[in-house]
Amino acid sequence: MDELPIGRRVAYWRGRRKMSQQVFADRLGKSKSWVDKVERGVRRLDKFSVVYEIADVLQVDVQLLLGKDVERRPETQNCIDQVEVEEIRAALERYDQMSAFFQAVPHSPPLVEMRKAVSHAWLTYQHAKYGVLARMLPKLLRDAQAADSAYATGTEAKDAAHLLGQVYQIASSALRKVGEHELSWLAADRSIAVSQRAGDQLLAGLASYRVGSALLALGRVRPALEVNVNIANRLAPSFDRPQGQGERLSVYGMLLLNGAMAAARIGDSATVRDLLCGADQASKELGGDFNHYWTSFGPTNVQLHRCATAVELGDGRTAVEAHEKLDIVGFNAMLPERRAHHFLDIARGYTQIGNIDKASEMLLEGDRLAPSEIRCRPLAHEVLSDVLRRTRGTPPAPIAELAEQMGVGV
């Protein structure tokens, strides 16, 4: 895209952001005719101040609009930038599996190496190192696709498909975090088909969970609710069976929790209550917090979702009360991404009850624990903007500093 005129690049990113010319013009304070002329190349963009304003509205690095290489953020920022998103997109757009149908795959990494790489990617995600993950994902996707093609007809075909299904899910989760919801949906949908080939119902169930999460992020709330509940019903464990169902209980429970989040989004408190009750029963049967299939499911995660669903229902008071009753030992044992995510949820809960000081405290706690979960997520930017807007007088120095680092106007 570097060789395109700047107007074409503006049109491209406007389309990616799902903005009409009129909406884009309104946000710039320009006319629709002005935008149309810029995008067609009739009007030149010869003022850097205007280019920077356009980049701000489109939420892209100004260097992308100018067709130049983007200077990568320092490692401490650890976010996924637009260049990395495009590299992940390019990896998802490859259809090497079709090429393998006609001729042999020239090279594929050994599956033992792939297993190590996939496990490392999961842990990188669960420690909220999104920038590190973004830099490894394109190669990991290509390697997993190559392995899936190379072993398609051998005895290791299901193992290779299983690994590719996991990589698609990791990509889906990471992309959703940074607001690339359509791409997240694509990766999750790919995982469903691959997981079925792997012959693993639980992996397919988790792929459905990722699809539900992407649909929810896209505002497709009822389909998100349906896919989570329907697949949960198919995976429902029998609670009178002997032990050994830990993995099934974990996947089943996460589907119920995701369904509860969707139900909360549409204000269906009765369904939220039923789904949380089912997840709570599964967590008690499980007997503790575990990371089966990378779910971090257990009693503590159920409690975190009680808080999160209350926030989605607009009941900040209930969310805060549930937060104050958390099992601290269980909470501190959870991985950084899950804990920082919770701090962001509770920051929203405190804003709902007007306690801006506590909301600020929660954002700072999340930032200390896992900076990327706060600094890289569009939702966190919205919450911080709300906190700044409702702060009387000058914001406290730590919040002002965080806002400056995140690029959120004070």
Read off the pLDDT of residues 359-388 as tens digits, 9 standing for 90 and up.
Answer: 999 999 999 999 999 999 999 999 999 999
Of 55-59, 206-210, 241-245, 342-346, which range is least confident?
241-245
Q: What tokens appear for 71 in the block?
A: 């200077």
Please state the separation of Cα 230 from the chain's center in Å.
22
Q: What percent of the chain has pLDDT over 70?
A: 91
Number of Cβ within 10 Å of residue 89's Cβ equals: 17
Q: Is residue 196 scored above 70 in pLDDT? A: yes
CA distances, 76 to each of 49, 129, 370, 407, 409 (Å): 28, 10, 11, 15, 21
Q: Is residue 45 scored above 70 in pLDDT? A: yes
The residues spanned by each domain of the chain are 6-65, 82-342, 343-410
Q: Is residue 97 scored above 80 in pLDDT? A: no
Tell me the C-alpha distance between 246 and 360, whole Å. Answer: 37
Beta-bridge mates of residue 297: 290
**Across residues 287-309, what is the average pLDDT?**
96
Number of Cβ within 10 Å of residue 199's Cβ equals: 12
Tell me the C-alpha distance between 150 and 145, whole Å. Answer: 9
Number of Cβ within 10 Å of residue 277's Cβ equals: 13
Residue 351 pLDDT grade (very low, low, confident, very high; cuts 50, 70, 90)? very high
Of 100-109, 258-267, 278-287, which range is least confident?
100-109
Residue 80 pLDDT grade (very low, low, confident, very high; cuts 50, 70, 90)? confident
Is the domain 6-65 a CATH 1.25.60.10 member? Answer: no
Beta-bridge mates of residue 246: none
Number of Cβ within 10 Å of residue 195's Cβ equals: 25
Of 14-28, 97-111, 135-149, which range is least confident?
97-111
Q: Do 6-65 and 82-342 come out as alike in CATH topology?
A: no
Q: Is residue 257 scored above 50 in pLDDT? A: yes
**Across residues 295-314, what is the average pLDDT?**
97
Q: Is residue 70 scored above 60 in pLDDT? A: no
Q: What tokens appear for 83 in the block?
A: 């260049």
Tell me the C-alpha distance between 279 and 297, whole Å. Answer: 9
Read off the pLDDT of residues 229-246 as tens digits, 9 standing for 90 and up.
Answer: 999 999 998 755 544 489
Read off the pLDDT of residues 127-155 as tens digits, 9 standing for 90 and up.
Answer: 999 989 998 999 999 999 999 988 887 78
| Res 106: pLDDT | 52
Tell me the C-alpha distance between 130 and 74, whole Å. Answer: 13
| Res 155: pLDDT | 86
Question: Angle of helix 299-312 relative to helix 336-352, nearest 10 degrees?
Answer: 30
Tell me the C-alpha distance between 336 and 176, whole Å. Answer: 17
Q: Residue 22: in which H helix or E strand, if any?
A: helix 21-28
Q: What tokens appear for 7 in the block?
A: 């107007």
**Which amino acid is located at 193 in the chain?**
A
Burial class from Cβ neighbours inside 10 Å (0-12, 13-18, 19+) for residue 397 reads exposed
Measured torsion, CA atoms of residues 192, 197, 201, 205, in degrees rounded to the nearest 10:
-10
Question: Angle of helix 82-92 relative to helix 130-150, nearest 10 degrees?
Answer: 10
Burial class from Cβ neighbours inside 10 Å (0-12, 13-18, 19+) for residue 363 reads buried
Q: What counts of helices (H) and strands (E) characterise the chain? A: 23, 0
| Res 245: pLDDT | 86
Average pLDDT, the chain: 89
Can you list the alpha helix ranges (DSSP code H) found in 199-298?
Answer: 201-217, 221-235, 246-265, 269-286
Of 87-96, 196-205, 290-299, which range is least confident?
87-96
CB 159 within 8 A of CB 401: no
| Res 78: pLDDT | 66
**Across residues 279-299, what is the average pLDDT?**
95
Q: What percent of the chain has pLDDT over 90?
A: 69
CATH number belonging to domain 82-342: 1.25.40.10
Burial class from Cβ neighbours inside 10 Å (0-12, 13-18, 19+) for residue 164 reads buried
Nearest to 135, CA basis, from 188, 65, 78: 78
Tell me the C-alpha distance between 379 and 139, whole Å. Answer: 28
Residue 73 pLDDT grade (very low, low, confident, very high; cuts 50, 70, 90)? very low
For residues 308 and 77, the model is more confident at: 308
**Across residues 184-189, what is the average pLDDT?**
96
